[in-house]
């Protein structure tokens, strides 16, 4: 980003923040928490997993790993990503960088966990284009059971409610509810209304304070 682009970016963010004060507060909190995280100790872990099947066998040692054919959903998501390649970021048509998207292995893992557990209520924070949502919803569709509740919000001037979950195929949307708002404000009221959930997935701001709030609250 050159100097002119930086000035344009700062001007756009300042103007947007004046109209949307909640977003300005969120940006300040994120910046403050990110700076604090630089002084935290990073823990190392010795366990490693070779592949998705290895993870599932560790999680469900007595469970049967279901056979699955995700080729149709994979093709849909790959085509969506391919269509975004030519778009400029940031823009209304490409509000999130492609690096925000979940990797294939992780998306498949979420799908298989939902196939095995057959959850009634799944809650996730952070949607972006909705890759994780799509794979969770595919499992719920095949289970013919359950609902996914996703929390996210348009924090930047080039983002929009319409682009949240825009990757999700139309035939999977009947089991999806988008809770539009900032996660740390919407999560507790949603959980209170649901009373009990089966799976929680954190994918909003990855700061220590925010992650601990979401994990403890859920």
* 73 part of a folded domain: yes
For residue 147, give its domain range: 51-217
Q: Which two tokens stand for residue 128?
A: 């972006």
Q: Which two tokens stand for residue 118?
A: 């057959």
Number of domains the chain contains: 1
* 191 part of a folded domain: yes
Residues of the chain above pLDDT 90, percent: 70
* 199 part of a folded domain: yes
Interacting residues of 48 by C-beta distance below 8 A, sequence separation 6+: none
Task: Report which of residues 63 and 121 the model is more confident about.
Answer: 121
- Looking at residue 1, its pLDDT comes to 62
Residue bearing tokens 């996660």: 183
* 58 part of a folded domain: yes
- Looking at residue 80, its pLDDT comes to 97
The string of pLDDT tens digits covering residues 161-208 is 999 999 999 999 999 999 999 999 999 999 999 999 999 999 999 999
* 12 part of a folded domain: no
* 30 part of a folded domain: no
Q: In whole angstroms, what is the distance from residue 116 CA to residue 64 CA?
A: 8
Q: What confidence tier does 52 reach under pLDDT thresholds 50, 70, 90?
A: confident
**Angle at 109 (CA atoms; ends 104, 112), nearest 5 degrees:** 125
* 212 part of a folded domain: yes
Domain with residue 62: its CATH number is 3.40.50.150
**0.75 exceeded by the pTM?**
yes
Mean pLDDT in the chain? 92
* 167 part of a folded domain: yes
């Amino acid at each position: 980003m050159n100097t002119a682009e930086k000035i344009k970016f700062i001007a756009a963010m300042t103007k947007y923040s004046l109209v949307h004060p909640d977003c300005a507060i969120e940006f300040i909190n994120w910046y403050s928490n990110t700076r604090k995280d630089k002084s935290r100790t990073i823990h190392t872990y010795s366990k490693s997993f070779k592949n998705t099947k290895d993870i599932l066998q560790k999680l469900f040692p007595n469970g049967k790993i279901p056979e699955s054919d995700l080729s149709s959903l994979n093709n849909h998501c790959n085509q969506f990503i391919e269509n975004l390649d030519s778009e400029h970021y940031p823009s209304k048509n490409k509000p999130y960088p492609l690096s925000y998207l979940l990797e294939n292995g992780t998306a498949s893992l979420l799908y298989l966990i939902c196939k095995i557990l057959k959850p009634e209520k799944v809650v996730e924070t952070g949607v972006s284009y909705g890759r994780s949502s799509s794979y969770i919803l595919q499992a719920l569709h095949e289970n013919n059971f359950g609902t996914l509740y996703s929390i996210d919000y348009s924090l930047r001037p080039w983002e929009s409610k319409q682009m949240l979950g825009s990757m999700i195929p139309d035939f999977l949307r009947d089991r999806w509810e988008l809770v539009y708002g900032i996660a740390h404000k919407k999560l507790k009221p949603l959980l209170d209304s649901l009373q009990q959930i089966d799976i929680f997935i954190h994918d909003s701001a990855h700061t220590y304070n925010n992650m601990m709030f979401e994990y403890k609250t859920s």
